[in-house]
Amino acid sequence: MKRPEGFDPRPPQPEATPEPRRTVRSPRRTARAPKSSPQAEEPVPGRPVTPAPPAIGTPVLPDAAASRLREREARAALRRAARERARVERDEVRRFTRRTRHRRAIWWTAGGIVAAFAVAVSLAVFSPLLALREIRITGTERIPQEQLHAVLDEQLGTPLALVDLDAVERELAEFPLIRNYVTEVVPPDTLVVRLQERQPIALVQGDGGFDLVDPAGVVVQTTPERPPGVPLLTLPDGDLDSAGFDWMVEVLLALPPEVLAQVDSISAPSRDSVTLDLAGSEQRVLWGSATDSDRKAAVLARLIPLHAGAGAGEYDVSAERTAVFRPD
């Protein structure tokens, strides 16, 4: 059988699905060259190509300038790092030395106070404003103040802090009537001397008259006649350093003032035989020993008013618990 023309002996193939068309669109706005930069010209054969000038505002540095810039930046960075490290080290040093600095500040403060005190003391010692201008003496009865001023006025004009108190003591020691004394500095320019004179307690008859003596046996005054109201000590040899003198003084010191004023004389032949004679009467007191003199004096002060008008007799207080008055 004859095949018609155009017959294709291959089996029929499925029709290929047409691939969709993809349209690539370019952006509507194209980058424009800066107005200030000219457009690049197309190279022309046979003409040397001239490079386009750089855009304005974009610096182009040579390699050496760029290198120097980098070096400067590096050095600046190193300096900043060094400063930061130094700051950190300083902070650490402050933190670790805080106690030392505090202690040093205390020492400096103490030193300043001591220095200020030393300056103040120096001014007080050597300043003429604090020089001695007046010496005031109190407590004198028998010693003339003119004699005391004659020996103490040598200190006038001396700064108060430099007054020679040892010299004052040496000068006052020349006066036997001074029992003791106290000095007081009264700023700005006064020295006060408070004296306590020796007080006579009894009489001792001597070749030149009667010596008024104090409890220490120091002669306070000598008079040709016997002064009233002062007991007479009966001393065989007139020895003021004897034990009998000490016994009699101990008894006299224990007597009340009203009883002491009635004592005319006192004797002590032995330790246990101290005897007193009362003035204005024929009465006497057998004291015994000088022990327990305070109790015996109190008992005698009660007995005398009871028997003052009884005439001659003897008060026996040698045993104070059994004291008695015996008429003659």
Q: What percent of the chain has pLDDT over 70?
A: 80
Give the burial class of 269: count Cβ atoms within 10 A of its Cβ; 0-12 exposed, 13-18 middle, 19 or more buried.
exposed
Tokens of 317: 């207080």
Task: State which CATH number among 3.40.50.2300, 3.40.190.150, 3.30.70.360, 3.10.20.310 fits the domain covering 128-197.
Answer: 3.10.20.310
Asked which of 38-47, 94-103, 125-134, 178-187 is least confident by mean pLDDT, the reply is 38-47
Domain 202-327 fold is: Rossmann fold (3.40.50)
List, as own/partner pairs, every contact residues 210-216 make where C-beta atoms lie below 8 angstroms and the sequence separation is at least 24, other chains included: 213/240, 214/179, 215/249, 215/253
Over 70: is that where the pLDDT of 56 sits? Answer: no
DSSP state of 159: B
pLDDT mean over 191-211: 92
Please state, in angstroms and rounded to a whole number, the distance separating the CA atoms of residues 239 and 204.
Answer: 9
**Of 31, 32, 51, which Cα lies nearest the Cα of 40?**
51
Q: Do the domains 128-197 and 202-327 sit in the same CATH topology, yes or no?
A: no
The predicted-structure confidence for 275-311, as pLDDT tens digits, reads as follows 999 998 899 999 999 999 999 999 999 999 999 888 8
Domain-wise residue ranges, the chain: 78-126, 128-197, 202-327
The predicted-structure confidence for 140-165, as pLDDT tens digits, reads as follows 998 999 999 999 999 999 988 889 99
**Under DSSP, is residue 134 helix (H, G, I), strand (E, B) or coil?**
strand
Over 80: is that where the pLDDT of 30 sits? Answer: no
Tokens of 148: 């005391």
Cα angle, residue 184 at apex, residues 182 and 187 outer, rounded to 5°: 170
Asked which of 69-83, 119-133, 249-263 is least confident by mean pLDDT, the reply is 119-133
pTM equals 0.57
More confident residue, 64 or 44: 64
The predicted-structure confidence for 2-19, as pLDDT tens digits, reads as follows 555 555 556 555 554 444
